[in-house]
Amino acid sequence: MKLDHIENVAISLDTLKGLEETINDLLEENISMLMEYPSDNASVKFRANRLADKLLALASAMIATNKATKQELQLGINALLKGGEK
């Protein structure tokens, strides 16, 4: 893999990070719409709360995965720059 390909991957990860943070921010700002879903049906309210919890967990997991991937990429770049594979 050439260094420019690695740089392109890093740029893509930065773009994904921005998208993930936007999703997370939107969820956090608007979570009350799901948590306080206007329904008299307890089952519907429960499902809306579960959806909110799952969406927040998904957004957090995406951010954490992106961070871990970026760290792995940096380790790979460092190994390439040192001229060896570990």
**SS3 state of residue 77:** helix
Chain Cα centroid distance, residue 25: 11
Tell me if the pTM is above 0.75: no
Question: What are 8-48's pLDDT values in tens digits?
Answer: 888 888 888 888 888 888 888 888 887 777 888 888 888 88
d(CA 18, CA 76): 22
Q: 10-21, pLDDT tens digit by residue? A: 888 888 888 888
| pLDDT at residue 86 is higher than 50 | no
- Is residue 84 very low, low, confident or very high in pLDDT (cuts 50, 70, 90)? low
